[in-house]
Every structure is written in C-alpha cells, then in structure tokens.
A and B are shown apart, each in its own frame.
Chain A
Amino acid sequence: MSDLATGHARHRLDEVIHAPVRFSIMAALAQVDEAEFAAVRDAVEVSDSVLSRQVSLLESHRYVHVKKGYVGKRPRTWLSLTKTGRQAYAAHLAALRDIASPTTLPPPPSSTIDQ
C-alpha cells in the first residue's frame, strides 16, 4: 500500500508508542513472551516509578498485560505484550520503516517530466 493511497506514513505512527520510553518498553517486551518488571526496567534503563507510570498507560490502552504474583514470599510483577500491543508495535515499526526508507518518499515533480 503506497503512501499516496493512505497519506503520509507519519499518520500511521501510534502516538501511545511514539514516546521514547514507551517505545523502548514496547521494543523490549516485543523480544520476549513475558518479562519480570525488574528485567524490563534494566533493559530500558529507567526508574521503577517511570516504568510503572508508562506501563500503566500502555496497560490502559491494552498494549501491555500486567500480572502480579509471588515467587516464594517476594511479590513479583510480570509484563507481556498483548496481541493488540504486538500488532500496534509492528504497525508502528512498519510506519517508521516507510518514513525512513527513501523509496516511500514522493518522487520529485521533475522526474516524471524528464522521462
């Protein structure tokens, strides 16, 4: 599907995922089935509070599933991408690729005239 038919690829960017920290969280979770909160925090290099806030927002959009439980006596939180989240992330990456790729740029007006 070309950009001419659907508008510029930037319109397909997902503003929930677009924010850098949320984008990193989605990128980290896209590489696993499920990850412990601390593992995601270490991968994304943010504080607990920042991760918690951003995960809550992603959860409210049903992009991330949060599962709380215990391992022994220690509470643990597990994060995973939902099916919707994976689809949204894949679509966002596709839009980024379309923007980054020069083949999706509209041809210069003179190129059609010259030929």
Chain B
Amino acid sequence: MNTPETEMTPEAAAAALASAARTPRPASPRDRRVYAVGTALSGIFLGGYLAFIQAIDRTNGWYEPSVLFYVVLISSVAIWQRRAARAIPLGAKRIGWIGLALTIPVLFGALLIARLVHGQGPLPWPIAVGVGLAVAAPLVIAAYRIDVSGRE
C-alpha cells in the first residue's frame, strides 16, 4: 500500500503540504457557533428543568407535563443543531461529551448537598436555582470551549 509509483520530489512534497494547509475547512465559524449554542442550550434546559422539578410539589400535576416539555425542548435543540450545521467542528463532539459526562457527578453532588441542607420535599426556589445553575455549568463551559477553540 505504501509504495506510490509517483516519484516525489521535495518541491512536490512541499507543494502537497501547502495544498493540504490551504484546503478550506468544511466547518464554518457559523457551524462552530451552532454547536456552541446547542451545547449551551442543552445545559441551560437541563439545569432549568431540574430546578423546576426540584422546586415544585410533584403531586400537583405539573411533573408529567414538565417532563414532556423538557423532552420536546431538548429534541428541538438536537434537531435544530443537525439542520443548521453543515459540519461538526473538530473536537466539538469530544468537548460536548466531556461536558455531559461531568454533568452527571455535578447533578448528583448538587442534589445531595441540597437534600442534606433542606431535607425531603420541594426545594425552596433559591436552592433549586442554585442546583440548576450547577447542573448547567459543565455544558455551558463546554459550549464556551467549543466556541473559543475555533478562534485559535
């Protein structure tokens, strides 16, 4: 496989390298922005949803509609992201997955602390919002990383 018949001169090799460097990126700054915004919205919606369900009394009938609303919101973000971007910028997937992976321990940690402080039952709104902000943070930070990595 590694025996091209073509004789490669140093000049030709340099020209090939220059050509590779000049190849336009299929991902535009807009694609990067779409992925950054989508990742940030995923975190904000997750944090918002979590704050809401922790603050409400789940026996009053709000819980089920809120789950449905959250699923619709998050699906809409995913569909918009897929439609709006022509390419996924290099590293964006990995950064997004890292953000999502970090969300899980933050979520359980924040809920544990909130429950230790407040006990069972609906959380007061300030605590619920704090939990929501903590949960949203990893994906929002990931979104920032996706956005700035394109400017480097």
Are B86 and A102 in contact, CB atoms less than 8 angstroms apart?
no
Residues of A contacting B: mostly: helix
Are B16 and A31 in contact, CB atoms less than 8 angstroms apart?
no
Give the chain B neighbours of A20 by CB distance below 8 A: 19
- Alpha-carbon gap, A74 to B10, bound state (A): 46
Are A33 and B92 in contact, CB atoms less than 8 angstroms apart?
yes
Q: Does A40 reach chain B (CB closer than 8 Å)? A: yes
- Alpha-carbon gap, A43 to B20, bound state (A): 12
Are A13 and B23 in contact, CB atoms less than 8 angstroms apart?
no
CB distance from B82 to the nearest CB of A (A): 6
Are A32 and B25 in contact, CB atoms less than 8 angstroms apart?
yes
| A11: contacting residue among B3, B6, B17, CB under 8 A | B3
From known contacts A14-B2, A34-B88, infer whether A40 and B20 are also in contact, taking CB-CB under 8 Å: no
Task: Please name the residue on chain B nearest to A20 by beta carbon.
Answer: B19
Are B92 and A93 in contact, CB atoms less than 8 angstroms apart?
no
Are B2 and A39 in contact, CB atoms less than 8 angstroms apart?
no
From known contacts A23-B16, A71-B83, A100-B13, infer whether A31 and B23 are also in contact, taking CB-CB under 8 Å: yes
Name 23 interchain pairs, CB-CB below 8 A, sorted by A: A10-B7, A13-B8, A15-B1, A18-B6, A23-B19, A24-B23, A27-B23, A30-B90, A32-B87, A33-B89, A33-B91, A34-B88, A35-B26, A35-B86, A36-B26, A36-B86, A36-B87, A38-B86, A43-B25, A71-B83, A96-B8, A99-B13, A100-B14
Are A32 and B8 in contact, CB atoms less than 8 angstroms apart?
no
Q: Does A53 reach chain B (CB closer than 8 Å)? A: no
Are A13 and B17 in contact, CB atoms less than 8 angstroms apart?
no
From known contacts A13-B8, A72-B83, A100-B17, infer whether A32 and B3 are also in contact, taking CB-CB under 8 Å: no
| A100: contacting residue among B4, B10, B25, B82, CB under 8 A | B10
- Alpha-carbon gap, A18 to B5, bound state (A): 10
CB distance from A97 to the nearest CB of B (A): 7
Q: Does B58 reach chain A (CB closer than 8 Å)? A: no
Give the chain A neighbours of B82 by CB distance below 8 A: 71
Are A93 and B20 in contact, CB atoms less than 8 angstroms apart?
yes
Task: Please name the residue on chain A nearest to B35 by beta carbon.
Answer: A33
- Alpha-carbon gap, A43 to B27, bound state (A): 9
From known contacts A15-B1, A15-B3, A36-B87, infer whether A43 and B8 are also in contact, taking CB-CB under 8 Å: no
Task: Please name the residue on chain B nearest to A70 by beta carbon.
Answer: B82
